[in-house]
Structure 1
């Protein structure tokens, strides 16, 4: 059995099953990327809730795993060479899990890099821009009298949706016919945009039928439905 006590984070979130991959997360668009991937692959894992309400992400224990104090993060007790691996950044974790399991990453070299490029597109574009729009449309920024910041991010979000719309024309998923980590990275953010952020009308989401089509196919996957709720917002029993 793996000894995870060497990781300071285990003092705050003890592992009940130290042989399983440990997930430290919350059901946010970035957080559910990893829980969805874990549900899709069937890897045994143990989820731990990192509560923003109590600033868990700012505790020394969490920051010992991710000094950037962002979820999600993992410890894989069976990492490369059989040694435990601690990892943060959702895009990096998706790539790692795809390579570990041999799933949801194209085997063709060219398509593999295409999948990675779309993960980077989400990490560098969709996530930050959709997130800023959420701040100015739903959260504290909505009370600002000056609507130029909101409108700036709404325009950029609409442009990014247009990129997705054009790319998905004639494709089942982001990399052709096969579901991949590119879809797992992108579509939790699209779902959040039109659901939790309630920004569909603001960005004219009805103008992007291909994006809607693939979003519908994404959320219809049983593993996605499970992963969207993991970890729970209250500590697991």
Structure 2
């Protein structure tokens, strides 16, 4: 039977509270999905900052937990069967935490799969497209004479916002009246698109009134406000 001492990541980020779930992350759109989920569920956890400035994500210790060298990742000392579980990929972690706590995922099988489809909508569309738009618009746009890549990602981001906007009409949250992991997955990316990426005008965001309505409700939640700042800078 494995114990926490079998995980090399603890040599770089020692657990002050080894009985709690260990989170390795940064306050990026993907990173805050998990910290928001943890804050919403009330599951005890300990957050560790994986600094990109010092390339912590490429350290042997972090790679032992996530060979794909991306945040977030978790180490749950109380995983299935009572054994520690290491897990990476934010979508997979959201599903795991929903199942572990019995929260923020519908129990009805059909509704569960509908929630998962919107989680996949974020993972396969919103995240990659918004992320590429941010790269070409905020960071690399001036270095490329060919503006077709930026144009492609702007158009696709607008399309995705349109899909989401249409779906949200008459709904409080993505799944109707029920707040879920679908909201936790999608709205940090919407917030980042118009905030950090400064792409509000580029994607004509103000036309997506339903998206903005739900975004404002999302960021007003106390657990979301806490989760957006975790792990805090030292």
Instruction: Check whether TM > 0.5.
Output: yes
Q: Could you tell me whether the CA contact under 8 Å between 1:135 and 1:142 is conserved in 2?
A: no
Shift of 1:233: 2.9
Q: Structure 2 CA distance, aligned partners of 1:208 and 1:156? A: 14
Match of 2:49 in 1: 49
- Name stretches of at least 5 consecutive residues in structure 1 with no aligned partner: none
Q: Could you tell me whether the CA contact under 8 Å between 1:27 and 1:233 is conserved in 2?
A: no
Match of 1:15 in 2: 15
Match of 1:75 in 2: 75
Q: Structure 2 CA distance, aligned partners of 1:142 and 1:22? A: 40
Shift of 1:197: 0.4
Q: Structure 1 CA distance, aligned partners of 2:55 and 2:84? A: 26
Q: Structure 2 CA distance, aligned partners of 1:133 and 1:42? A: 34
Q: Structure 2 CA distance, aligned partners of 1:233 and 1:128? A: 26
Match of 2:189 in 1: 189
Cα deviation per residue 1:113-135 (whole Å; 9 max; x = unaligned)? 11111001100110000000000
Cα deviation per residue 1:66-125 (whole Å; 9 max; x = unaligned)? 000000000000001111000000000000000000000011111111111100110011
Normalising by the residue count of structure 2, what TM-score does the alignment of the two structures yield? 0.98
Over the aligned positions, Cα root-mean-square deviation in angstroms equals 1.0
Q: Could you tell me whether the CA contact under 8 Å between 2:168 and 2:210 is conserved in 1?
A: yes
Match of 1:146 in 2: 146
1:203 is the counterpart of 2:197: no
Q: Secondary structure at the match of 2:155?
A: helix
Shift of 1:3: 4.3
Q: Structure 2 CA distance, aligned partners of 1:192 and 1:34? A: 16
Q: Structure 2 CA distance, aligned partners of 1:85 and 1:216? A: 34
Q: Could you tell me whether the CA contact under 8 Å between 1:74 and 1:86 is conserved in 2?
A: yes
Q: Structure 1 CA distance, aligned partners of 2:74 and 2:165? A: 32
Q: Could you tell me whether the CA contact under 8 Å between 1:3 and 1:18 is conserved in 2?
A: no
Q: Structure 2 CA distance, aligned partners of 1:19 and 1:99? A: 19
Shift of 1:141: 3.4
Between Structure 1 and Structure 2, how many residues are aligned? 233
Cα deviation per residue 1:156-199 (whole Å; 9 max; x = unaligned)? 00000001001001111111101000000000000000000010
- Name stretches of at least 5 consecutive residues in structure 2 with no aligned partner: none
Normalising by the residue count of structure 1, what TM-score does the alignment of the two structures yield? 0.96
Match of 1:136 in 2: 136
Shift of 1:140: 2.5
